[in-house]
Amino acid sequence: MNTMRKFLIVAAGLFIVTFALPEVRAHDEGGVSLGDVGSVLDNARDSASAIPSASAAPITPDDPWKRVKLPTRSGPEAIGGYSAGCVRGALALEITGNGFQVMRLSRRRWFGHPKLLNFIRGFASTTRTDGLGSLLIGDMAQPRGGPTLSGHASHQTGLDVDIWYLMTTPGKILSPEEREKLSSPSLVKGDFDSLTKNWSPKVMDLLRDASTQPNVERIFVNPAIKKEICARHGGEPWLGKLRPWWGHADHFHVRLHCPSGDSQCRDQEDVPAGDGCGSDLASWFTPARREEAKRMKQNPSPPTMPTLPPLCAQVLQEPPL
């Protein structure tokens, strides 16, 4: 048995079952108007800190999930929880598809469960039909899911995707350099103080289209964005899927339900009934929550390795596609 294989087996064997569901705390800001991709090649800032799960250990450069470059050849299966899991049989999304383009190619996070790829393609079709533009796709998952060294606590089971608020005109293909350096503009001042001049009512149409796609479980948005949409569309059923969370000022995060038949996949708790425009949303604009945001900036949490379902150890060892 070669040295690398021994290392993967030992490293994977250290993981035990847990299904923690923390979500990413990201703070990204850009500096261009929504829909404008022609004047920005130097504003890429992807800084983020993840909330550690309870029995987590620091992630090191030896993280085996990042080193695996190909999915397994087995059939698709999401395993574990969104923030403590992995994925078998993931597929690679087209780098340039019909109505969408993948960004940050160097991160190699354009893999997902087939259900996620179907969602992206269907959503892109809807946005084209509605005249909203072409989607820019951020992080999905690594080839076999699992924890990442930076940017996320979730995105581990191939059922999460970040989608930029910035869109391109149909037919405009970005160069590899643009995909690395272009940044989506922040729509929010501060953590969740108010909306910036980059805000557009088209964002509401974009989020409505996303929330009504099949299998969407919830969508994470900045609290200020949720507040604005509640003021305009309060009471509409689709708003319940928009969940306020840290960051998400320049992109939104779509999460799908566990696929039917994936018995080892763990869904998040159900979205509460209603439009989510009441006390839960109001709690984000209290002095206590702003103090929490301040503490997070001063003492960001380091990336951590969650404990994973034992089945993920097998996923690391399975033959590549």
pLDDT less than 50: residues of the chain: 1-57, 59
CA atoms within 13 A on the CB side of 251: 26
Q: Give Cβ neighbours of residue 141 (< 8 Å, ≥ 6 apart).
A: 87, 90, 109, 111, 112, 155, 156, 157, 158, 160
The model's pLDDT over 131-149, given as tens digits with 9 standing for 90+, comes to 999 999 999 999 999 998 7
The helix/strand/coil state of 57 is strand
pLDDT value, residue 190: 92
Q: Is the pTM of this model over 0.85?
A: no
pLDDT value, residue 61: 52
Rounded Cα gap, residues 18 and 88, in angstroms: 18
The model's pLDDT over 177-233, given as tens digits with 9 standing for 90+, comes to 999 999 999 999 999 999 999 999 999 999 999 999 999 999 999 999 999 999 999
For the chain, domains (ranges, CATH) are: 3-317 (3.30.1380.10)
pLDDT value, residue 20: 33
pLDDT value, residue 304: 77
278-281 long-range contacts (CB < 8 A, ≥24 apart) are 280/244, 281/223, 281/226, 281/227, 281/230, 281/244
Select from 54, 64, 66 the least CA-distant residue to 21: 54
